[in-house]
Amino acid sequence: MEDEYCVIFDLDGTLVDTAPDLHRALTFVLERENIAVPDLETVRPFVGHGARHLIAQSFKHEQIEISDAALDGLTEDFVDHYARNIAVDSMLFPGLRGCLEQLSRMGTRLGVCTNKRTHLAQLLLEQMELDSFFSVVLGGDALDVRKPHPFHLLETIRRVKSSPHQAVLIGDSTTDAEAARNANVPFIAVSFGYCDVALSALGATAIIDQFGDLIPALEQIFGGK
């Protein structure tokens, strides 16, 4: 691998296991509404779809209708509570820090492309002491479009000062897989994230089970370029 290559990461379910703290925020808003709270394992596959989706799915599961205005209000309450408790139980996936340190030593350009709101993504990365690794963090509210639209990923790559043919996306979901495919960028799927379909259905260039496998996978992809 050469220093002009860049690696773009998704955040939730890829860099950090954020589901416990997201579930806490969901519990906060649902209990006030006397809505049954789904358990953590039920919530995990929906984390990548955002707070609004999590809340809407919870109401749908209980067959209770909610207006868009009420849903908007609950979403903002969720975000406020989550921001104040963003790194209570969230954890880095094993081997991540060592992998990022090695990539940094190699001169690899690193960025984050996430559908999480930008200020929340930046806050989480700061709290987890990961922010120094990434020159660019582009959240779902930073542009007029977000993943799986290709421009979200392509703009992240551009801001990292790289180009699509020198980049790869690391993620855990159909949204990430579609974004990479739409941008014509190789996609490496992590098996430990929040994917709600079989990993084989993602059409990933490679699948890794741990971060110790990432650099060999990158070398295989970039070595062929």
98-117 per-position pLDDT tens digit: 999 999 999 999 999 999 99
Measured CA angle at 45 (ends 44, 48), to 5 deg:
95
Cα–Cα distance measured from residue 86 to residue 145, given in angstroms and rounded to the nearest whole number? 25
- Active-site positions read 10
H, E, C per residue of 90-122: CEECCCHHHHHHHHHHCCCEEEEECCCCHHHHH
Average pLDDT over residues 53-75: 93
140-170 per-position pLDDT tens digit: 999 999 999 999 999 999 999 999 999 999 9
pLDDT category of residue 86 using cuts at 50, 70 and 90: very high
Please state which CATH class domain 6-18+90-223 belongs to. alpha beta
My answer on whether omega of the bond before 148 falls inside 30° of 0, hence cis, is yes
Domain boundaries, the chain: 6-18+90-223, 19-84
What's the confidence (pLDDT) of residue 164? 96
Strand partners, 7: 110, 168
Instruction: Give the DSSP letter string of 197-208.
Output: S-GGGG--SEEE
- pTM of the prediction? 0.94
Measured CA angle at 135 (ends 75, 129), to 5 deg:
65
Cα–Cα distance measured from residue 15 to residue 34, given in angstroms and rounded to the nearest whole number? 33
